[in-house]
Structures are given as C-alpha cells and as structure tokens.
Homo-oligomer: A and B are copies of this chain.
Amino acid sequence: MDLTSLHLGGIQLHSMKRLTLCIDCSDEPGLIARVTGVLHRHGGNIVENGEYVDPESRRFFMRTAVEDVKDPDLLLRVLKTELPEIATIRLQDPSNKRVMLMATREPHCLGDLLIRAAYGDLPMDVCGVIANHEDMRSLTESFGVPFHFCSHEGRSRDEHEVQVGKILDEVKPDLIVMAKYMRILSTDFIRRYPNRILNIHHSFLPAFIGANPYRQAWERGVKIIGATAHFASENLDEGPIIAQDVTPVSHHHRPKEMARNGRDVEKRVLARAVRLVLEDRVVVTGNKTVLFE
C-alpha cells in the first residue's frame, strides 16, 4: 500500500511511521468503537482495518494499520484500560523481522526466499540457514547468509535437535521457516516455538498426509495437486493452515512430474504465507488461522 497517498478516516499531513495494532480479547459490545475512538484521540490515522469474531471461542480479533500515532506507549496503556482484562495487544513497527530458514536438499523454496529477502521483496532479514545436508551451502553463502550444517547422521533425534536448538538460542529469530526441511521435528522442539515455525507441505492438506504425497496423489489418480503452508504443531501436518494453492495434473504426470510441477506451487504458497506472517496478518485461533488481508 502506498503510504503517501492511501489512508482511511483522517487527513494525512505527512507520512509518519506506520504501526500495526493487533488485538485479541473476549468479545463484547462496542469494541470497534472503543478501539477506533482511542486511536483517533491519539492522532492515529487508520490506513487498514480488519476485525473478526471467532464464532466458537467468542474471541474478538482486530488488526489495524495506523499512522501518525503521537505516543505509541501511551496509546498502548490507554488501550489496555479500555479493553477486557485478558486482551492481548501488540503494537508493532514494520521493521524487518529476523528469520531463520531450514532446508534439506532442495533449492526451490530456499532460493526463492533468499532472493526475495536480498532484494527487499519480503520484509525480513535472513539470519541464517540450518540444514541437515551440505547441498544448499553454496546457494546460501552466495547471498552472504550464514549456513549451519547440522547433520542428523549418527545422532539421535534428541541430539540433533539440541544442536539445532543451540543455534536458534544464539540467533533468536523472530520466525523459523522450514523451506522444505525434510526431517520431522519432535513435539518438544515445536512446543518451544509456538506459532513461530512455518512449514510447507507438498500436498493439498488434509489429503495425502505423511510421506511421499506426490506418489500418493499419483496412486489415487487425482487431477489436481497442491501445497499447504501451515504452522508446525504437535501433530505433524495438522497445524493451522495459512495458505494453499493447486495446479492441474493429468494421467501423463508420474510422481516425478507431479513433484516438478508441485515445486512451483510449494514455492509460491510458502512465499505467500511468509509474507502474511511477516506483515502480522495471521492470527491463530484454535487450529485455524484468521488472515487480515
């Protein structure tokens, strides 16, 4: 969105820093009026706005991009007094997030994200790549990004994850993106990064959960294949879905050609999900996501 010309609900005097306000609280009457009222009184100019109430949990979610807020800290404090006690309120500036990528042997998702980061297409700084094979080292390092080789061979799952965890503890990324990382992470590991590990699964979930989804798709004789970006959760391939897309196939496609065509879908679905998360547009509620687009 062009900050210098688009806004909502207020004349824009000059282009100040944009902040994103995310609210998550139990629903009650008048919340939109209260939040937008507070924003207005603090000089905030709303440039994007979205709300959602989860019909099951009765929770209210709101995402507002706002400019010209005079005193963000004061705004936050006032909002907290206006909203229900258990509200979660985040006010974030749009500076680049720090992202750790994880890979195994395939370059399509990893390379796509590295290029996007290097040329400013995605608001992220890639602070490193962790891989359980050496194959992606040269691609990674050609972008000036540190490559951490964590072999799983000769190591137990626990030992391997301790090694990976150490790197994450040092780097402290805001987000971890598994760009075709083909090792299964333990429940304990995933629990340490709730809704912060993004994964791409090479099928149209929940179809073809598990190993070799393209072979499964070929065996079933489907006419469309897909890919699914989701948060990693304790149950493999069952975390909250962020983005999905598909591509047609025919009887001419064997698993190998399905995999080839599928890679293009994986790549664009993962990039889309990463963008949504980096722009604070994704809220998790239960095992689903709300996307403020």
Q: Which residues of A contact B (CB under 8 A)?
A: 1-2, 5-11, 27-33, 36-37, 39-40, 45-46, 49, 51-53, 55, 60, 107-108, 111-112, 115, 118-119, 121, 139, 142-143, 204-208, 220-224, 226, 240-246, 250-252, 254, 256-257, 260, 263-264, 268, 271, 286-291
Contact = CB atoms under 8 A, between A and B. Distances in A.
Nearest to A226: B224
Given A108-B121, A205-B220, A268-B268, 17 more contacts: A1-B254, A1-B256, A5-B254, A7-B53, A8-B51, A9-B32, A32-B36, A33-B36, A33-B40, A46-B51, A111-B115, A112-B115, A204-B204, A220-B241, A221-B240, A222-B244, A251-B290
B243 A246 contact: no
A108 B286 CA distance: 34
A268 B257 contact: no
Contacts of A60: 8-9
A147 B289 CA distance: 44
Nearest to A56: B5
Contacts of A40: 29-30, 32-33
Contacts of A142: 142-143
Nearest to A208: B206
A27 B114 CA distance: 41
A87 to B, nearest CB: 13
Contact of A51 (B5, B49, B226): B49
> Taking chain A's interface residues, is the majority helix, strand, or loop, or is none over half, making it mixed?
mixed
Given A107-B115, A207-B207, A221-B240, A31 B55 contact: no
Contact of A243 (B108, B118, B223, B254): B223
Contacts of A244: 222-224
A264 B268 contact: yes
A288 B251 contact: yes
26 contacts: A1-B256, A6-B53, A7-B53, A8-B27, A8-B32, A8-B52, A9-B27, A9-B31, A9-B33, A10-B27, A10-B29, A11-B28, A30-B40, A33-B36, A37-B37, A52-B251, A52-B252, A107-B119, A111-B115, A115-B139, A206-B207, A206-B222, A220-B241, A220-B287, A251-B288, A264-B271
Contacts of A118: 107, 139
A111 B206 CA distance: 32
B221 A241 contact: yes
B246 A220 contact: no
A168 B204 CA distance: 38
A264 B245 CA distance: 14
